[in-house]
């Protein structure tokens, strides 16, 4: 077949050593003389060796255990999508002996993050995929991972300081700018008031939401647009309290648009506006959650920015496997495109397999 593809055997021949020696060099197992090492490395330097995955998995009876550390999918459908991405990746790599165990922490309890992380460490996986949504709590956890020498990949939220193998996510500042552009398009007058609504316990600790708002505001500034922009942080989980704050906002301002910074928040706001029959207020929100889709089809939600949680998690496992097993270097950052979902392309996203 491909007479071109280089095998270990070929490298051995070129370097004038045995396949065993080449193998030891390739996997840095040591027990190789400086002389042999040099010879093999010089050959490897000149040719592009790509191991035959097929052959490798056939022979190796080895299995890899990966762990995922993420919020409980039952608390928020956004994370259920991430979960399904992990399952999908696991299915794909199963025949290569890869297993992934998912561990969930409480979305509303920062301490549980540390606790579950400790459980993950105890299970001694070969690699970890993490969604570090709590900035402060994340730092000591990653220190522990390093201590235990377990490689990790981040998704959803980046914390560059902990130098992960890779980060998979989106440019959140730009995401905010895009939200602004879409909001601007949906408006028919430039004098109305707009709101940025976060639904979050601890805004200062949530870099991702802050970045989105910054982008949203700067878009209008950079274009010299004079909308009045109000920020509202709804941190009280009780529905009654939330409704009260929203009613207040609608009463005091001539509000024509709401940019919601989270996916779950999107349908909460949509539900409120729907009940109060305020279809004049445009909504730009996040992600194709079932409820968000419903409100978009109903005409309540105008635009969704797809963060592609499923794909993020899928790629996370993918990079982890690639790096650990295939010894491929994962990209430092894998930024997914900011996908715009509107009424007319929604179905095309829902029907596509590959996404």
Contacting positions for DNA (CB under 7 A): 1, 5, 7-9, 17-21, 23-24, 26-27, 30-33, 35-37, 51-52, 55-56, 58-62
CA-CA distance, 355 to 345, in Å (whole number)? 14
Specify the residue, 111 or 345, whose C-beta has the smaller distance to a copy of itself.
345
Q: In the structure encoding, which two tokens stand for residue 315, read together?
A: 């790629």
The interface partner of residue 143, options being DNA, a copy of itself, none and the CB cut-off 5 to 8 Å by kind, is none
N-term to C-term CA, the chain: 33
CA distances from 73 to 81, 154, 265 (A): 8, 17, 15
Kindly state the helix (H) or strand (E) to which residue 255 belongs, with its residue range.
Answer: strand 255-260
CA distances from 254 to 154, 192, 230 (A): 41, 6, 11
User: Smallest gap, in angstroms, from Cβ of residue 35 to DNA?
Assistant: 6
Say how far residue 74 (Cα) sits from the centre of its chain.
Answer: 18
User: In the set 19, 97, 245, 278, which binds a copy of itself (CB under 8 A)?
Assistant: 97
| Cβ–Cβ < 8 Å for 289, 264 | yes
Say how far residue 352 (Cα) sits from the centre of its chain.
Answer: 20
Residue 41 interacting with a copy of itself (CB under 8 A) = no
Specify the residue, 21 or 306, whose C-beta has the smaller distance to a copy of itself.
306
Those residues whose C-beta lies under 8 Å from the C-beta of residue 279, and which sit 6 or more positions away, are 273, 299, 300
Residue 336 interacting with a copy of itself (CB under 8 A) = yes
Residue 35 interacting with a copy of itself (CB under 8 A) = no
Residue 349 interacting with a copy of itself (CB under 8 A) = yes
Count the site residues for a copy of itself by CB under 8 A.
52
Residue 122 interacting with a copy of itself (CB under 8 A) = no
Specify the residue, 31 or 240, whose C-beta has the smaller distance to DNA.
31
3-state secondary structure of 68: strand
CA-CA distance, 79 to 73, in Å (whole number)? 5
Binding mask 273-312 for a copy of itself (x = CB under 8 A): --------------------------------------x-
CA-CA distance, 77 to 82, in Å (whole number)? 9
Cβ neighbourhood burial of 256 (10 Å; 0-12, 13-18, 19+): buried
User: In the set 96, 114, 192, 218, which binds a copy of itself (CB under 8 A)?
Assistant: 96
User: In the set 20, 29, 42, 55, which binds a copy of itself (CB under 8 A)?
Assistant: 55
User: Smallest gap, in angstroms, from Cβ of residue 338 to a copy of itself?
Assistant: 4
The interface partner of residue 80, options being DNA, a copy of itself, none and the CB cut-off 5 to 8 Å by kind, is none
User: In the set 41, 143, 185, 241, which binds a copy of itself (CB under 8 A)?
Assistant: 185
Binding site for a copy of itself (CB under 8 A): 1-2, 4-5, 50, 52-55, 57-58, 61-63, 94-97, 170-171, 174, 177-178, 180-182, 185-186, 188, 219, 311, 315, 331, 334-340, 342-345, 347-349, 351-355
């Amino acid at each position: 077949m491909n007479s071109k593809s280089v095998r270990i055997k070929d490298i051995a021949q070129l370097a004038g050593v045995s396949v065993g020696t080449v193998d030891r060099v390739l996997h840095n197992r040591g027990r190789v003389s400086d002389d042999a090492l040099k010879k093999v490395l010089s050959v490897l330097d000149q040719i592009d060796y790509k191991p035959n995955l097929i052959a490798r998995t056939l022979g190796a009876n080895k299995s890899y255990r990966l762990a995922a550390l993420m919020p409980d999918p039952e608390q928020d459908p956004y994370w259920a999508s991430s979960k399904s991405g992990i399952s999908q990746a696991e299915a794909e790599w199963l025949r290569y002996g890869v297993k992934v165990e998912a561990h969930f922490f409480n979305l509303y309890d920062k301490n549980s993050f540390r606790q579950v992380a400790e459980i993950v460490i105890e299970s001694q996986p070969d690699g970890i995929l993490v969604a570090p949504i709590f900035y402060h709590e994340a730092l000591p956890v990653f220190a522990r991972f390093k201590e235990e020498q377990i490689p990790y990949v981040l998704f959803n939220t980046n914390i560059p300081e902990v130098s992960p193998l890779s980060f998979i996510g989106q440019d959140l500042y730009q995401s905010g700018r895009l939200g602004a552009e879409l909001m601007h398009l949906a408006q028919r007058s430039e004098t109305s008031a707009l709101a940025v609504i976060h639904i979050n316990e601890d805004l200062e600790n949530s870099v991702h939401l802050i970045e989105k708002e910054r982008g949203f505001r700067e878009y209008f500034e950079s274009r010299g647009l004079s909308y009045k922009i109000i920020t509202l942080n709804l941190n009280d989980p009780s529905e009654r309290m939330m409704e009260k704050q929203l009613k207040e906002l609608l009463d005091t301002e001539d509000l024509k648009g709401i940019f919601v910074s989270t996916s779950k928040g999107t349908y909460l706001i949509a539900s409120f506006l729907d009940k109060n029959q305020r279809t004049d207020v445009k909504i730009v929100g996040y992600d194709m959650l079932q409820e968000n889709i419903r409100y978009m089809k109903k005409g309540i939600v105008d635009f969704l920015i797809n963060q592609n949680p499923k794909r993020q998690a899928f790629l996370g496992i993918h990079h982890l496997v690639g790096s650990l097993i295939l010894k491929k270097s994962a990209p430092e950052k894998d930024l997914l495109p900011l996908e715009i979902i509107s009424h007319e392309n929604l179905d095309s996203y829902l029907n596509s397999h590959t996404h």
